């Protein structure tokens, strides 16, 4: 990398950091893997802990992108043998604020509310934590989609709830760690509650919708 590229990179990074639409999203919550387990295994219907963290950049009021990482831990439920596993994912998602459209449909939502649809591709990493599958680590592509509702507490801080589903493609091992005879598609549902902190920003969804 030459000096010009280095200077250009730091100029870009400086502009990104001071951008009026860059937001840090932090959330915690619960998860539920789909029923893709070995025959004697079963997960709890609600598992914790789920942790999400990401950077979201809004190009304009309605459209943006988010780079985030999520961590899920889950374990046995019902009469299943004991097991635990970690599921980590990294995604790049498009974010679209549909608040104005809901207003157009005569849904009179309170001010300072942002309703976002989000979706995008990523990678998932599965790590069993219990014998005899502890060495059966796996990774696969995923597509994540969901809806997040934000409420602006101040012009720079909002709280949110996010319901999402991660669709795993070509999964090589079951969620408890047993090796699959054939690759499968599965899913991981997440429900998280969190806080968003805007960097040097006004609340871009706190005003009345554009008419």
Ordered mean pLDDT values, 10 residues apiece, the chain (211 residues): 58 53 92 87 92 90 90 93 95 89 62 89 96 93 96 89 96 92 91 91 63 48
CATH class of 21-199: mainly beta
pLDDT at position 154 is 86
pLDDT at position 198 is 87
The pTM score is 0.84
- Tens-place pLDDT, residues 1-29: 556 655 655 555 555 554 457 899 999 99
The residue ranges of every structural domain in the chain are 21-199
Measured between alpha carbons, how far is 100 from 115 in angstroms, rounded to an integer?
A: 9
pLDDT at position 209 is 54
């Amino acid at each position: 990398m030459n000096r010009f590229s280095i200077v250009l990179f730091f100029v870009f990074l400086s502009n990104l950091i001071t951008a009026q639409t860059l937001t840090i999203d932090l959330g915690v919550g619960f998860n539920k893997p789909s029923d893709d387990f070995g025959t004697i295994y079963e997960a709890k219907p609600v598992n914790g802990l789920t942790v999400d963290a990401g950077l979201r950049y809004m190009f304009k009021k309605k459209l943006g992108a988010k780079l985030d990482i999520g961590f899920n831990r889950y374990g046995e439920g019902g009469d299943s043998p004991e097991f635990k596993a970690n599921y980590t994912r990294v995604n790049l998602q498009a974010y679209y604020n549909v608040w104005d459209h809901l207003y157009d449909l005569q849904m009179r939502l309170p001010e300072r509310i942002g309703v976002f649809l989000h979706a995008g591709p990523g990678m998932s990493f599965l790590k069993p934590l219990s014998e005899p599958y502890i060495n059966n680590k796996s990774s696969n592509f995923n597509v994540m989609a969901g809806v997040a509702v934000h409420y602006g507490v101040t012009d720079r801080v909002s709280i949110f709830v996010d319901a999402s589903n991660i669709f795993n493609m070509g999964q090589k091992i079951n969620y408890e760690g047993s090796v699959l005879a054939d690759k499968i598609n599965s899913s991981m549902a997440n429900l998280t509650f969190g806080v968003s902190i805007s960097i040097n920003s006004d609340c871009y969804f706190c005003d009345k919708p554009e008419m």
